[in-house]
């Protein structure tokens, strides 16, 4: 009848002396590789998955493992002598649900309900995602925000059961309270079993005959709540703040999910940010550039006075140490603020100012560089304005 069964240890690829952790680890690897969800329509993978699951069901159970070690597969062949205690391995047995709950809970990252996982044990509620917009300065220095949120709470009338007071939810007749059902189908390789969430109770294992009128049988009521959100100094655009247990209520006594608040930082009219550093541009006059002098430089800490050195060229970069953004990890450490000094070429000049500039040019030893008839060879001497122009055209 049955084809020759492979040794369970061989199936999982572990030694006879493997401990529980090693067996579980080996099964997780195989289950992930061959799980029907990962290999839709692949009968061979499904067979391997079933084989590994069967091996795991036996080797992860101390009693069954002892029987298997003593009698081999015969231990589970009903009436074939051996231990005779529990007959053939049965995918419909209660053990199977436990295996799924145990393995697949973490295999699929927790909180998931894939693969018909029995979910009538305590489970963490789902996370809620929200976003808020804050200013550039609020991101730099941190801020407190209030979020207006509709949150679910377990219904107080029915204590979250969803059943009318005085009644209680009944065990689902379709799945017998397990929250999952096993579908059997025949394939070339034999009988294939799929475990799925019970369609009758949605996986809760319970059905409600008379619904609670306060929550219409959902077990939850919703209300608007104000949640305080502390945005840490140094947060950047797109980062999220996690507020524990302000998400969806837990299931069957599990903890609430978390609230994840994504932060969107508005652009600043003069500051740009890169990691912990701030960048900006400050205009200085030609006279300030030539003679030096104090200029006002806006920073996130307010204006600071920077002394421009005489003979400063346009596009000179200045570092204001520690005037940048605090580090998220350690707010006492701050980045720097880089200022680019740009010389403004005057374009609206009074006659008086023009005269002063011409005078300056002469005094500085420059010609006005006007094309005159004497400039026959077109030889050009570079004047001051050309130099300024060049500086800008670089």
Residues that bind Zn ion (CB under 5 A): 155, 157-158, 172, 174-175, 198, 200-201, 212, 214-215
> Please, what is the minimum distance in Å from the beta carbon of residue 338 to Zn ion?
60
* Whole-angstrom distance, CA of residue 244 vs CA of residue 235: 18
Q: Where are the beta strands (DSSP E) in the chain?
A: 128-134, 143-154, 170-171, 180-187, 190-197, 206-207, 220-231, 240-243, 259-265, 272-274, 277-285, 293-299, 302-308, 316-320, 337-344
Q: Which two tokens stand for residue 337?
A: 């603020």
Nearer to Zn ion, 183 or 189 (CB): 183
Give the strand pairing for 170-171 and 190-197. Answer: unpaired
DSSP 69-133: HHHGGGGGSTTSSS--SS-S--TTSHHHHHHIIIIIHHHTTSS--GGG----S-BPPPPEEEEEE
> Please, what is the minimum distance in Å from the beta carbon of residue 66 to Zn ion?
34
> Please, what is the minimum distance in Å from the beta carbon of residue 215 to Zn ion?
3
* Whole-angstrom distance, CA of residue 392 vs CA of residue 394: 6
> Please, what is the minimum distance in Å from the beta carbon of residue 62 to Zn ion?
30
Can you say how many angstroms the Cα of residue 344 is from the centroid of all Cα atoms in its chain?
46
What phi and psi values does residue 103 have, to the nearest 5 degrees? -80, -45
> Please, what is the minimum distance in Å from the beta carbon of residue 112 to Zn ion?
18
Nearer to Zn ion, 75 or 215 (CB): 215
Nearer to Zn ion, 59 or 251 (CB): 251
Nearer to Zn ion, 103 or 198 (CB): 198
- Per the CB < 8 A criterion, the answer to whether 363 and 314 are in contact is no
- Per the CB < 8 A criterion, the answer to whether 220 and 160 are in contact is yes
> Please, what is the minimum distance in Å from the beta carbon of residue 171 to Zn ion?
8
DSSP run (H or E) holding 26: helix 20-34
If you count them, how many residues does the chain have?
Answer: 394
CB within 8 Å of 363: residues ≥ 6 apart: none
> Please, what is the minimum distance in Å from the beta carbon of residue 55 to Zn ion?
28
- Per the CB < 8 A criterion, the answer to whether 273 and 255 are in contact is no
> Please, what is the minimum distance in Å from the beta carbon of residue 85 to Zn ion?
29
* Whole-angstrom distance, CA of residue 207 vs CA of residue 132: 39
> Please, what is the minimum distance in Å from the beta carbon of residue 40 to Zn ion?
24
Q: How many CA atoms lie within 13 A of 182 on its CB side?
A: 15
Nearer to Zn ion, 172 or 261 (CB): 172
Q: How many other C-beta atoms are found inside a 10 Å radius of the C-beta of residue 336?
A: 16
Q: How many CA atoms lie within 13 A of 178 on its CB side?
A: 21
Distances (CA, A) of 138 to 125, 148, 294: 31, 19, 29
> Please, what is the minimum distance in Å from the beta carbon of residue 100 to Zn ion?
15
Nearer to Zn ion, 134 or 158 (CB): 158
């Amino acid at each position: 009848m049955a084809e020759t069964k492979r040794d369970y240890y061989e199936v999982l690829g572990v030694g006879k002396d493997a401990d529980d952790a090693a067996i579980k680890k080996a099964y997780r690897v195989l289950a992930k590789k061959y799980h029907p969800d990962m290999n839709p329509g692949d009968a061979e993978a499904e067979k391997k998955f079933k084989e590994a699951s069967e091996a795991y069901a036996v080797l992860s159970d101390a009693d069954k493992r002892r029987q298997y070690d003593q009698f081999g597969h015969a231990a589970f062949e009903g009436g074939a002598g051996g231990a005779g205690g529990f007959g053939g391995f049965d995918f419909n047995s209660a053990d199977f649900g436990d295996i799924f709950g145990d393995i697949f809970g973490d295999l699929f990252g927790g909180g998931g309900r894939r693969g018909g996982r029995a979910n009538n044990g305590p489970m963490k509620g789902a996370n809620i995602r929200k976003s808020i917009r804050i200013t550039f300065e609020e991101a730099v220095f941190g801020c407190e925000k209030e979020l207006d949120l509709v949150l679910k709470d377990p219904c107080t009338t029915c204590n979250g059961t969803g059943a009318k007071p005085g009644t209680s939810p009944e065990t689902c007749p379709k799945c017998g309270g397990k929250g999952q059902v096993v579908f059997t189908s025949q394939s070339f390789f034999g009988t294939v079993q799929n475990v799925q969430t019970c369609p009758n109770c949605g996986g809760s294992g319970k059905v409600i005959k008379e619904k609670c009128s306060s929550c219409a049988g959902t077990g939850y009521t919703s209300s608007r709540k104000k949640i305080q959100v502390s945005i840490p100094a140094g947060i950047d655009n797109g980062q999220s703040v996690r507020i524990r247990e302000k998400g969806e209520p837990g299931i069957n006594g599990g903890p609430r999910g978390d609230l994840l608040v994504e932060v969107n930082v508005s652009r600043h009219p003069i500051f740009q940010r890169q990691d912990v550093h701030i960048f900006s541009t400050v205009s200085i006059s030609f006279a300030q550039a030539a003679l030096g002098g104090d200029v006002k430089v806006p920073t996130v800490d307010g204006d600071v006075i920077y002394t421009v050195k005489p003979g400063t060229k346009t596009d000179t970069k200045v570092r204001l140490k520690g005037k940048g953004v605090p580090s998220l990890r350690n707010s006492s450490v701050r980045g720097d603020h880089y200022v680019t000094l740009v010389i403004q070429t005057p374009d609206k000049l009074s006659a008086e100012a023009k005269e002063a500039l011409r005078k300056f040019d002469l005094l500085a030893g420059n010609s006005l560089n006007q094309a005159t008839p004497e400039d026959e060879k077109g030889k050009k001497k570079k004047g001051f304005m050309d130099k300024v122009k060049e500086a800008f055209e670089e």
